[in-house]
Amino acid sequence: MDPIASLPAPLTASALAPLTDTSKDLLAAARTLNAQLASMHFSPPVAAVLNPLDYAWGVYERYVRRFAAGPRRVVFLGMNPGPFGMMQTGVPFGEVAAVRDWMGLMAEVKQPVQPHPKRPIQGFACNRSEVSGRRLWTWVAERWGAPETFFAESFVLNWCPLAFLEVSGRNFTPDRLPASGLRALEAACDAHLQQAVRALQPQWVIGVGGFAERRVQSALRGWPAIRIGTILHPSPASPAANRGWAEQVNQQLADLGVWPP
């Protein structure tokens, strides 16, 4: 049985967990990043830039306050939001059913300042599944069961909270930005990652995919206490990910020594 689909959906906004030093520092780092990103401009083919840490802040705040109450041994880092995941919920890899039904998180999702007509923000009313998020959170739910078990020693972040969309609505990933637009983005997002790592004090930072790992390597260069690794990205665009992604990731983490097989 699907460990996520079998759960009842909450009907009202979830309560805010108490602030701790860790969650307070993480939220402050996100607010600083938001302020820096708000002044950035990106040239075509980028037609719209959406920041779910702005219009879906209420969900993200609940995610951080509930699941990042203290240091975490392992931090997983994704790249940036997908159209039916974090773009809708504000949570990294935030496939709607996983966030609402498994994590039990609900809050208002507002409309972005710069909406895109072909990628409407429907929040928790979005009925399309984010395949990458579905794969990641189903793997977590199947391996750890309750979210509290996984998040007791792990946390999931995205390197960049911005979604870049072309006129067609197609996702334009940060790695394809021209160098002139990428430098300022890298500086802000790397600084945010550094602040998040200081708050979470992990032993491991695991890039979900090669791009994320490269950003970790760059941002945390010279941090000898941090061990860095990578796992296969769960995107359906990856032929390898379509051949037993969860089993491959379990083996990769075992090979790294993060968890036993």
pLDDT reported for residue 114: 86
Residue percentage of the chain with pLDDT more than 90: 90
H or E stretch at 191: helix 179-200
Please check whether residue 27 is in contact with residue 57, taking contact to mean a CB–CB distance below 8 angstroms: no
Residue 237 lies in a domain: yes
Residue percentage of the chain with pLDDT more than 70: 97
Q: Which domain holds residue 73?
A: 26-256
pTM here is 0.95
**pLDDT exceeds 70 at position 5:** no
**pLDDT exceeds 80 at position 202:** yes
Q: How many CA atoms lie within 13 A of 197 on its CB side?
A: 24
Residue 158 lies in a domain: yes
pLDDT reported for residue 181: 79
Residue 240 lies in a domain: yes
Residue 149 lies in a domain: yes
pLDDT reported for residue 228: 98
H or E stretch at 193: helix 179-200
What single string gives the DSSP state of each residue in 41-91? ---TT--EEE-HHHHTHHHHHHHHHHH-SS--SEEEEE-S--TTTHHHHSS
Q: In whole angstroms, give the CA distance from residue 239 to residue 82.
A: 18
Q: Which amino acid is at 142?
A: E
Residue 261 lies in a domain: no
Q: What's the structural domain count of the chain?
A: 1
Whether omega for the bond prior to residue 120 falls within 30 degrees of 0, making it cis, is no
Residue 5 lies in a domain: no
Per-residue pLDDT band for 180 (boundaries 50, 70, 90) equals confident
Residue 59 lies in a domain: yes
Mean pLDDT of the chain: 95
Per-residue pLDDT band for 8 (boundaries 50, 70, 90) equals low
**pLDDT exceeds 80 at position 204:** yes
Q: In whole angstroms, give the CA distance from residue 133 to residue 97.
A: 10
Those residues with Cβ within 8 angstroms of residue 43's Cβ, 6 or more apart along the chain or in another chain: 178, 181
- Alpha carbon 197 to chain centroid, angstroms: 15
**pLDDT exceeds 80 at position 9:** no
Q: Tokens 């498994």 map to which residue? A: 102
**pLDDT exceeds 80 at position 111:** yes
Per-residue pLDDT tens for 230-241?
Answer: 999 999 999 999
Output the domain CATH number for residue 215: 3.40.470.10
Per-residue pLDDT tens for 39-87?
Answer: 999 999 999 999 999 999 999 999 999 999 999 999 999 999 999 999 9
Residue 203 lies in a domain: yes
Please check whether residue 18 is in contact with residue 27, taking contact to mean a CB–CB distance below 8 angstroms: no
- Alpha carbon 12 to chain centroid, angstroms: 23
